Amino acid sequence: MTKKAQSFRTILLAGSALAFASPAFAQTAPASGAPVSNAAQASIADIVVTATRRAERLQDVPIAISALDGAQVQAQRIDNFASITKIAPGPTFVPVKGTSTIAVQIRGKYSNNDAPGLENPVGVYIDDIYYGSLASFDANLFDVSQIAILRGPQGTTFGRNAVGGALQITNNVAELGKTDARITLTGLGNAMGQLGIESDGYVNYAIGSSLAARFAYSVKNDGGYQKNLLSGNYLDDNRVQSVRGSVTWQASERLKMTASASYTHRGGYGDGAVIVGQGALVKQVRAANGGDLHKTLLDDDGETRRHLFAGILKLEYDTDVGTIASITGYRSLNAFYQEDSDGGPLPANYPSININKEKQVSEELRFTSKFGGPFDFVSGVYFGYEDLYKGIQFNFNGTLPQSYLSVLSPGRVASQFVAGRIYNYSVGPFIEGKYKITPQLSLTAGLRYSYERKNGYTSHEGSSPFYGAPYFVELGKNGGTNSWQSFTPRFIVDYKPTRDISFYASVSKGFQGGGWVLTATSAAKALVPLAAETTWSYEIGTKSNFFDHFLTTNVAAYLSDTSNLQVRSLINGVLTDSNAGKERVKGVEVEAAIHPVAGLSIGANYAYTDAVYRSFPGCAAGGLDCTGNRVPFVSKNDFTALLDYKMDLKSGARLGFHFDDKFASPYQLIATNLQQIGVPYTRRRNVANASVSYTPPSGAWDLRLWSTNLFDKTYASNGLNYYFYHMSPAEVSAGGGAANADVERLTIAPPRVIGITFTARVGG
């Protein structure tokens, strides 16, 4: 037996044992005001998803999926990317530069590279529109129909870059034949004493039987939670306004049209990073904040300005043999982000500014069959065009004797503006079919061809010790590599001995296109693109309901191998991008729940993820070999306990209670695995959320008292070693040189927040 087979067998056995040892779940919440019945409990397995581009019961889809419907999203206060990750076992949220650059990690795949055209290996799809760049999406979630996290490569049906998985967000659109409205008002306060107010809602209006319109909005003005002791302001605040309008028209018995448009504006300060580690400056910060990581010393409060627009037109035409769909999308982004990038009280890099400007047009044509026999398929083609611009202003201050910058840039402020623009043209025809060999045994086979062609430029104005001398280069011209393509197949065998029990095995390939590095230190290096990244994933799993839905268990065990992994590392202050050679990720994911009495669900999610570099020579200065190191931002163990209880009172009113509690092991912050000061701060222990709700017999309103991070745990979600900003030349020398110096700039997660939400409904 090969080592790969042995590893896969081991994690399968572990997963099978865990399925019965630890109860995680996704259940469908009953309609507001409706009593919880045995029938409602029985529908837990009947949540419907579109993970294969056709509507299916979650339990029938032979893919590792976690999903919540709109009622659960609202009840559990899942309103941004940080909270989305608690839906499924294993994913982590990685803020890189406040809201200007964020990433989601799934099964060891993530990217913190903000160069235009180098995209996230976790595909993000909002209303079937692809959001590829790390700056392009801003998840102010409101009026949501469903959120689903698909784990493992999804390239066949979702396209390029869905290597680690896909995040699928579906918003509500105008509903025919229904007139109703909802409004919520929320007051909240965090552990730093800052108050906030939020409101969201919608109006759905039926105009006859064939036309409907919907308007939804969300407004948030939440106080920050990172206090800058130098200015007195609270950073990491949340000031956002969003609107969305949609129209649905049933033009004929066969033709349906849905059009929607949305706009989001976000403002506020920058992020409130805090430094920990070595040196006198860190001691000064600690003396000022008393060890409270929600207090920091920054010379710049920063500023956030983001404007996002999206428009979608969806046409669906039903035929006797299937549905033809056309999905046309347009999105734009205009963003300005200023932050204290060094994270300390010295003006070591001031001002530090990030600018993003993006436009995207896409078209997908899709046919979904409904033959009614043993064979069905979905096929289509995707066309996309992206215009992506990124600019970064650096000002490395070498005039500060207490900073190691005085050695790297002696006696001057090294000002440099790094900018790049990429035009990306992509096309992706695909087909996937499923054949029922017997009523219990099915075979799925699919194939997608992904092609992308890129060109553009990189410009460096000014010079610095980190990013070299000025240059301007055109990319993708004069015979250089400018296109990447790949076939990405998927094969699945699933066996359902009964309606409530299934087993599956799959093999799939993921593809992430190549591109150029924005911060390359010379023109010659800027012209050499990163190679495309490919992943082969092998997965087996089971989805089961036992004893009339008393016990639900979903288990997946997988092994994935990646070649030409695209990695960004901070080496001597330089964000260096390279193809890491090879990565292997193996793991087990368990979601389970028991329902001992009516209205009560007790569940747990668990993920074991072993992500290592199988081959990564030369990952740092001096030829350091990172082979065998752990992949950053991946917790080896991630466990969440959940409890939901709904009780019907004699009056007809209903009480509801929700509680979840996460425990996750710390993760590495850099590929070298060398600097360890920041790593312990990433441990999440007893990070709990809770809510209590009351709904009167009419169901016309409800009141919810809730708390996030109930036990007020402090932990970090990201960290970078910025010793060269905060340690003096003498301190670096006394510690044995730069290789031993470590001052971590930590991004701190929010503290406890307590709030009360009032929801009113009319119509329906």
Q: How far apart are CA 391 and CA 417, in angstroms?
A: 7
Using the Cα atoms of residue 561, residue 564, residue 569 and residue 572 in order, give the sign of their dihedral: positive
> Domain 3-763 carries which CATH code?
2.40.170.20
Encoded tokens for 125: 């799809």
E strands present in 616-653: 637-648
Using the Cα atoms of residue 17, residue 20, residue 21 and residue 22 in order, give the sign of their dihedral: positive
Q: How far apart are CA 75 and CA 78, in angstroms?
A: 8
Residues whose CB is less than 8 angstroms from the CB of residue 457 and which lie 6 or more positions away in sequence, other chains included: 420, 421, 472, 473, 474, 475
Nearest residue to 170 (alpha-carbon basis) of 200, 127, 202, 141: 127
Contact 44, 585 (CB under 8 A): no
Using DSSP bridges, classify how beta strands 352-369 and 322-339 pair: parallel, antiparallel or unpaired.
Answer: antiparallel
Instruction: Give the model's pLDDT for residue 571.
Output: 65
Contact 420, 457 (CB under 8 A): yes
Instruction: Give the model's pLDDT for residue 288.
Output: 97
Q: What is the DSSP letter of 529?
A: P
Element (H, E) at 38: helix 38-42
Instruction: Give the model's pLDDT for residue 100.
Output: 54
Using DSSP bridges, classify how beta strands 122-126 and 165-171 pair: parallel, antiparallel or unpaired.
Answer: parallel
Chain centre to alpha carbon of residue 99: 12
Nearest residue to 344 (alpha-carbon basis) of 303, 414, 289, 268: 289
In the chain, domain spans: 3-763
Instruction: Give the model's pLDDT for residue 12.
Output: 38
Instruction: Give the model's pLDDT for residue 17.
Output: 38
Residues of the chain with pLDDT under 50: 1-45
Instruction: Give the model's pLDDT for residue 675.
Output: 75
Encoded tokens for 179: 């007139």
Encoded tokens for 693: 């709700």
Q: How far apart are CA 402 and CA 685, in angstroms?
A: 37
CB under 8 A, 24+ apart: contacts of 407-410 = 407/729, 408/465, 408/466, 408/573, 408/724, 409/464, 409/465
CA distances from 461 to 154, 254, 467, 470, 476 (A): 40, 57, 10, 5, 21
Which residues is 376 bridged to in the sheet?
A: 434
E strands present in 208-302: 211-222, 226-228, 234-235, 238-250, 255-268, 274-277, 295-296
Nearest residue to 705 (alpha-carbon basis) of 653, 658, 764, 751: 658
**pTM for this one?**
0.90
Residues whose CB is less than 8 angstroms from the CB of residue 291 and which lie 6 or more positions away in sequence, other chains included: none
Q: Is 157 strand, coil or helix?
A: helix
Angle made by CA atoms 492, 498, 500, in degrees to the nearest 5 = 85
Q: How far apart are CA 555 and CA 562, in angstroms?
A: 23
Nearest residue to 41 (alpha-carbon basis) of 528, 552, 489: 552
Q: How far apart are CA 690 and CA 753, in angstroms?
A: 11
Chain centre to alpha carbon of residue 495: 31
